[in-house]
Structures are given as structure tokens and as C-alpha cells.
């Protein structure tokens, strides 16, 4: 071989090695999920599950204001691989007492070959139940802000799978809408769809897209780039900007939130998953022992003609005490005018003696949670004065309402509030809120939030179908805690249902009880009036049902049809089953309880529940591991049980 041929061969060899070095693969610990990353003209990724493609080749990148777009002509300058297999114990047990955090990770540092030669560091984590990736962006060569106008992350979905889509129509909302089953091609470049987005991608393959660890960055919505099934990340714009304007500003390093692709062979695997919390940092509160989950009574307009006055508040405190609940939520107008420049969140309205309320509640072993309007909290940094006062008074938590945004500024405001609340031993319940992102792991005082079309909609809407309630377990709840506010005991049929005061609920009593098991909310706020619940059938279940869990087991179900979930606390298993509007018979296999014989207490739809939805059939019997229980569900019906191991 002459020198020229040798030189040419070496060049081709180097080119071949260089090209090979631009293709990477990361597997899940059990090898069922494979992520492939390719850096050719652009950085692409793809995902397979059990050999089936769930994400086709999709792109990464960013567009900026006052600087070139950043999405191509990269060279890899560093790669680091990492394996994590650990178990951690959450302060607030939403699903598990011990959480397995097991993934394979690769960190890829790219640099532009020419021009500004900016760097982009992207990390992929591959779990047994999904994939997550995020990107780190660096300072500019010039002092001052970099401004992101668009994130170019895409999710290229094969075929045209069924999807469960929630459309908000805009970037500022309370995120309280219905999820509808659609073919994926329904989503267009005009769509502003919320997360999580659930998809059924063929046989034994379910996928949901959402995000985790949102910090100093806007939340994102789903649309397309005009090409069928290429889903895009549509970032919430900053106030005063439109969708073509600035979404995020940063003058230091910034991380995007984790873009999460939950994957399982059935939809229950997604419900059981802890991937969202696993993507958040460990608890940042040095001593979180003051954080106490539980159930709360609520003096709200929903339950009747409730007035903000002392006798009413005492009645609800007595109610909480009689039920054995930990909290009573004092709702709006306790400090008089709200959303008003004169509002003072450190002073009660003239008719309210807040210190007497706190003292009286303490004698009943009940703690007080206070409602606040967000602008009253924010005005002149009022919370910095109010929160230390609340701690001094003995207030247990705060419910802040009507934010209705998830842009970068609002995300940072959430973090400020949560941290200040933690410093002052206050739990937080956000209403008019954006979806959870797993921050409960880092700040477990962020104990629940709304961002869901919950029970309050029975008051003024026709949208609260049993199908909607079933779908929530497979869709919105994948993101985490949701303050649905269950507990409506004025149960009626669809024909009897109407918007009124006091509020009627269009499902059976057993279905209403099932919400306490199925829906995830470590602080569960009960919506109905004391007179509607006390000593009524089913009220005894609300005295024993917990709000935190040591284990979770999906039994069966399908979005919009029915859902059956078992959750464990201590030695007891609780089962919740919720039906859609068509009566049916299902079988529950008890293959998750201990061997031997156990006692089971059951609250089921009464034989006439189709006509009288308040009627319950309450019974106790013995069950054993592996038993199969056949249960009948009424129209809009449900079923709950408590299984107690016999010692």
C-alpha cells in the first residue's frame, strides 16, 4: 500500500470513528426501554419499549431573541455515564413508604462547531418505567440575559394512537378542564394541550408525556409544528409576551425541567410510577416532622348557604373533631375584602376572632388552615410578614388561590412561597394552580394542589360526568397530588342532577367514597356540609380512610370505563373502584394481600343504587390471598373496602 492510499485509509477510519462516536444508547436497568441519541446534522433521540418504537427520531434545540437559533452543527466534547440504584423514604407518602430510584444516565456535552460555539448539556435518564431528559444552558459571552423564544424539543409519535387530551386554549388558566379521548392527529399547531398527555400506542404499550422539577423556567404545553404527530413543547410566555415572544430569561446557567416520557405495558403501571418524584431533589427541609397529612373540613360556599361568621366556623371545627380529622380550612373573606388593595392578610374581618378560632380548634384537637388570594399574598411582599405571624399563632397551613399561570415568573413565585412557608412551618395547598411536578419530594410542605376539574364543578357545570372522574385517575393524577375536594353526600342520578345550592353530586355514595382511595392528595379537603355527612351511611368510612400510603397496586381499569386501585397503609389494604355511567360487573383478584385469611369490610352500591344513589350495601366477610371478588357497579357507581389482616 503506498503512502497516499494509507493516508486515505486513515482519514476514512478517523471519519468512521468520529461518526460512530456521535451515536449513543442508554438502556433501562431491565433493558425493556432503549434510548438512542444521534448527533449528525442535529441532535436527535428515539425511544423503544420491548422492541416497539414509542418515540421516533425527535429533535432538541432552542430559539433565542438577539442571537442565532441553537439546534444544529454540534460536536460532542464530553460524555459521562452514571448508574443509580437507591431507595429513599418520602416525608409524605403519596404512593410508597419506600421509593426505588433506579436508572441509567448519560450526560452529553455538545458544542457548536462554528459561530458563537455555545454549549448545550443534555442528560438522559432511563428508568424501568420511563425516560427523562433535560438540558443545561450556559451564560452568554456577553453580560446580561439570554432570552429563549422557543424550545425545539419534539416528540415524534408513530402511527395515530388514541390519546387523552385536555385543551386549555390559552397559556393562562386554572387548568380545570376535561380530558377527551382523541386520535392523536386531532392535535394541531393551534392546540394548547395540557399535561399529562396519555397515549395508548398499540398492544401493551402506554405512554404519557409530562414534566418534572420545573424551576426558573416556564411550564410547557403540547401542540404540533404543523407536521402530523410531531408534538412540540409550547412554552408558557412571560407576562406581556405572546407565543412568538420571550418565554424565559436567564443570565446564569439554567436547566429546563425534565421532559418525562412515562412508559408501561398497561395504564396502571403509570399510576403506580414514582418517576416524577424521583426526578426531584431530596428533601430540603432540615426537620420536616411538623408536616402532617390528613383530612380537613371546609366552610365553603359549595356546601350550602355558608357565611363567614363565628358560629359557622365553630360548627365546622366540631365537624372535623367528630370525624377525627386533623384540620379545618377557613375559606375566603376571613380577612374581609380580598383581591383588593386594602386587603390585609394579617388581620381578620371584624366579625371574626381568629385567635378564639385557633384556641377553640385546639381544644378539639383540630388545626386551622387559612385561605388567601394570591395578589393579597404578593402585594408589598405581604407573605414575608404574614407567614411568621401564622406560625406564631399556630396556623398549620395556607391555601392560596387564583394564580392561573405557569410562566417563568409564576413558577419562581411558587418556589418563593413554598420556601417561605417551609421556613415558617406552613403546609401549602395551591388552587387555581398548575399541575404538580414532584416538588413534594424536595419541599413536602407543598402537600397538594388543585389544577383539576374537581367536585366544585358540580355547583355550576354539567361537565362532571362519571367518565370524567374515572379518566382523572389515568391522566391528571399521573402528575401527582390533586385537591379534587371529594365528599359530596347529596348523591343523585343524572336525571335528578341540577346546579343548585346545596350542591348535588351525580354519582353514587359508594363512588364518592372511592375518590378518597383512588385520588392522590395527602391533604384531603372534604367539600360537603356537616349536616350532610354526620351519621350518614358512609361517614364511618371517612373516619378510617387515610390520606397517605405505604404501597399501591393497580387492579384493573381503562380510562373513561372504570378504575380499581388498592392502597396499603400499615397492615391494612384499602380498595377503591369507580365506574362510568354504565352499570357493569367486574372481578377483583386479591393477589396482593398477605397469605392466609383476612377480614374485609365493604361499602358497595345498594341494590337500588341506580334509582337511589345514596343507598349503600355495607357488609363484612373473610377473604384469602388469590380470592376473586365479583362486584356489581351501578350506573355512576363505586365500591370501597378495607382489608384487615387477621393475626
Q: What is the full DSSP assignment across 82-96?
A: EEEEEEE--SS-SS-
Q: What does DSSP say about strands 562-569 and 551-558: parallel, antiparallel, or unpaired?
A: antiparallel
- pLDDT score for 11: 36
Sheet holding 572-579: strands in order across?
A: 551-558, 562-569, 572-579, 638-645, 597-605, 616-624
- What per-residue confidence (pLDDT) applies to 19? 44
Residue holding cell 361537565? 463
- 10-residue mean pLDDT profile of the chain (647 residues): values are 41 40 91 97 96 97 96 96 98 98 98 95 98 96 90 97 97 98 97 98 96 98 92 97 94 96 98 98 98 96 90 97 98 95 97 98 98 98 98 98 98 98 98 98 98 97 97 98 98 97 97 98 98 98 98 98 98 98 98 95 98 98 97 98 86
pTM of the model: 0.95
CB-based contacts of 231, cutoff 8 Å, min separation 6: 154, 155, 156, 157, 187, 197, 209, 222, 223, 224
Residues 253 and 142: their CA atoms lie apart, in Å, by 14
Q: Among 231, 150, 235, which Cα is nearest to 189's?
A: 231
For 560, residues 6+ apart whose C-beta sits below 8 A from its C-beta are 181, 467, 470, 471, 580
SS3 507: coil
Distance CA 369, CA 363 (A): 16
Nearest residue to 590 via CA among 624, 618, 620, 554: 624
Write down the CATH number for the domain with range 23-278.
2.70.98.10
CA dist 412 and 210 (Å) reads: 19
Domain boundary assignment for the chain = 23-278, 487-518+541-647
Query: In 10 A of CB 162, how many CB atoms?
Result: 15
Residues 191 and 222 sit within 8 Å (Cβ to Cβ): yes
Instruction: Report how far residue 315's alpha carbon sits from residue 321's, in angstroms, rounded to the nearest whole number.
Output: 10
Q: Coil, helix or strand for 57?
A: strand
Please tell me the predicted confidence (pLDDT) of residue 530: 97
Q: Is 80 exposed, middle or buried (0-12, 13-18, 19+ CB in 10 A)?
A: exposed
The distance of Cα 616 from the centroid of its chain, to the nearest Å, equals 31
Q: Distance between CA 110 and CA 162 in Å, rounded?
A: 36
CA–CA distance, 343 with 443 (Å, rounded to integer) = 28
Instruction: Identify the bridge partners of residue 600 per DSSP, sorted by sequence position.
Output: 621, 643
- How much is the pLDDT for 647? 60
Mark residue 202 as left, alpha or beta (left: phi above 0; alpha: psi -120 to 50; beta: remaining).
left
Angle between helices 354-363 and 310-323 (to 10 degrees): 20
Distance CA 394, CA 400 (A): 18
- For residue 466, give the H/E element and its range: helix 466-474
HEC states along 108-142?
A: EEEEECCCCCCEEEEEEEEECCEEEEEEEECCCCC
Between the alpha carbon of residue 545 and those of residues 106, 505, 639, the distances in Å are 42, 21, 14
Rounded Cα gap, residues 504 and 19, in angstroms: 65
Task: List b or e across 360-379, with b for residues whose CB sees 16 or more CB atoms inside 10 angstroms.
Answer: bbeeeebbbbbbbbbebbbb
Can you tell me whether residue 385 is helix, strand or coil?
A: helix
Axis crossing angle, helix 354-363 with helix 382-393, rounded to the nearest 10 = 40
- The C-alpha atoms of residue 591 and residue 572 are separated, in whole angstroms, by 14
Q: Give the pLDDT of residue 301.
A: 87
The end-to-end CA distance of the chain, in Å, is: 84
Architecture, CATH, for domain 487-518+541-647: Sandwich (2.60)
DSSP summary character for residue 167: B
Separation between Cα atoms, residue 271 and residue 563, nearest integer Å: 11
Please state, in angstroms and rounded to a whole number, the distance separating the CA atoms of residues 305 and 152.
Answer: 50
Angle subtended at Cα 284 by Cα 278 and Cα 287, rounded to the nearest 5 degrees:
120
Amino acid at each position: 500500500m503506498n503512502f497516499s492510499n494509507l493516508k486515505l485509509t486513515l482519514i476514512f477510519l478517523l471519519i468512521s470513528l468520529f461518526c460512530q462516536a456521535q451515536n449513543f444508547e442508554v438502556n433501562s436497568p431491565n433493558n425493556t426501554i432503549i434510548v438512542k441519541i444521534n448527533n449528525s446534522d442535529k441532535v436527535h433521540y428515539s425511544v423503544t419499549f420491548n422492541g416497539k418504537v414509542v418515540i421516533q427520531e425527535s429533535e432538541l434545540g432552542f430559539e433565542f431573541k438577539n442571537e442565532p437559533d441553537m439546534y444544529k452543527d454540534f460536536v460532542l466534547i464530553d460524555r459521562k455515564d452514571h448508574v443509580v440504584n437507591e431507595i429513599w423514604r418520602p416525608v409524605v407518602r403519596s404512593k410508597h413508604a419506600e421509593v426505588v430510584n433506579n436508572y441509567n444516565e448519560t450526560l452529553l456535552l455538545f458544542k457548536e462547531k462554528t459561530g458563537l460555539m455555545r454549549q448545550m448539556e443534555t442528560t438522559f435518564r432511563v428508568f424501568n418505567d420511563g425516560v427523562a431528559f433535560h438540558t443545561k444552558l450556559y451564560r452568554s459571552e456577553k453580560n446580561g440575559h439570554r432570552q429563549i423564544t422557543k424550545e425545539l424539543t419534539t416528540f415524534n409519535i408513530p402511527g395515530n394512537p388514541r390519546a387523552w387530551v385536555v385543551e386549555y386554549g390559552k397559556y393562562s388558566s386554572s387548568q380545570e378542564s376535561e380530558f377527551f379521548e382523541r386520535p392523536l392527529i386531532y392535535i394541531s399547531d393551534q392546540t394548547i394541550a395540557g399535561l399529562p398527555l396519555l397515549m395508548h400506542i398499540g398492544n401493551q404499550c402506554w405512554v404519557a408525556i409530562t414534566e418534572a422539577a420545573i424551576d426558573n423556567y416556564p411550564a410547557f404545553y403540547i401542540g404540533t409544528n404543523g407536521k402530523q404527530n410531531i408534538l412540540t413543547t409550547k412554552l408558557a410566555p412571560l407576562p406581556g409576551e405572546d407565543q412568538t415572544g420571550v418565554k424565559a430569561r436567564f443570565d446564569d446557567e439554567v436547566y429546563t425541567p425534565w421532559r418525562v416520557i412515562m412508559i408501561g405495558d398497561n395504564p396502571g403501571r403509570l399510576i403506580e410510577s414514582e418517576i416524577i418524584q424521583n426526578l426531584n431533589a431530596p428533601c430540603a427541609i432540615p426537620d420536616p416532622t411538623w408536616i402532617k397529612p390528613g383530612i380537613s373540613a371546609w366552610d365553603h360556599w359549595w356546601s350550602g348557604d355558608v357565611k363567614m361568621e363565628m358560629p359557622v366556623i365553630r360548627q365546622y371545627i366540631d365537624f372535623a373533631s367528630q370525624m377525627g380529622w386533623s384540620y379545618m380550612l377557613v375559606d375566603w373573606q376571613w380577612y374581609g375584602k380580598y383581591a383588593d388593595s386594602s386587603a390585609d392578610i394579617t388581620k381578620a374581618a371584624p366579625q371574626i376572632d381568629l385567635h378564639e378560632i385557633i384556641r377553640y380548634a385546639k381544644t378539639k384537637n383540630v388545626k386551622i388552615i387559612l385561605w388567601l388570594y394570591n395578589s393579597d399574598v404578593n402585594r408589598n411582599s405581604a407573605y414575608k410578614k404574614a407567614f411568621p405571624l401564622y406560625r406564631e399563632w399556630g396556623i398549620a397551613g395556607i391555601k392560596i388561590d387564583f394564580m392561573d399561570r405557569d410562566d417563568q415568573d409564576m413558577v419562581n413565585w411558587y418556589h418563593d412561597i413554598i420556601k417561605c412557608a417551609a421556613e415558617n412551618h406552613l403546609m401549602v395547598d395551591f388552587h387555581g394552580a398548575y399541575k404538580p411536578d414532584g416538588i413534594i419530594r424536595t419541599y413536602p410542605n407543598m402537600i397538594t394542589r388543585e389544577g383539576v376539574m374537581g367536585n366544585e364543578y358540580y355547583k355550576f357545570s354539567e361537565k362532571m360526568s362519571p367518565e370524567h372522574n374515572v379518566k382523572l385517575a389515568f391522566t391528571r393524577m399521573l402528575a401527582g397530588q390533586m385537591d379534587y375536594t371529594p365528599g359530596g353526600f347529596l348523591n343523585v342520578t343524572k336525571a335528578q342532577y341540577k346546579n343548585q345550592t346545596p350542591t348535588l353530586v351525580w354519582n353514587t355514595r359508594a363512588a364518592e367514597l372511592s375518590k378518597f382511595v383512588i385520588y392522590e392528595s395527602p391533604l384531603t379537603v372534604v367539600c360537603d356540609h356537616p349536616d350532610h355527612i354526620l351519621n350518614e351511611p358512609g361517614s364511618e368510612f371517612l373516619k378510617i380512610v387515610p390520606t397517605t400510603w405505604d404501597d399501591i397496586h393497580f387492579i384493573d381499569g381503562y380510562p373513561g370505563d372504570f378504575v380499581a386501585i388498592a392502597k396499603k397503609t400499615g397492615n391494612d389494604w384499602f380498595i377503591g373502584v369507580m365506574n362510568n355511567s354504565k352499570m357493569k360487573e367486574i372481578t377483583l383478584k386479591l393477589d396482593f394481600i398477605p397469605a392466609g385469611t383476612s377480614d374485609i369490610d365493604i361499602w358497595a352500591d345498594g341494590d337500588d343504587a341506580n334509582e337511589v344513589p345514596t343507598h349503600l350495601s355495607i357488609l363484612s366477610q373473610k377473604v384469602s390471598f388469590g380470592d376473586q371478588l365479583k362486584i356489581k357497579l351501578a350506573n355512576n357507581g363505586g365500591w370501597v373496602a378495607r382489608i384487615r389482616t387477621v393475626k
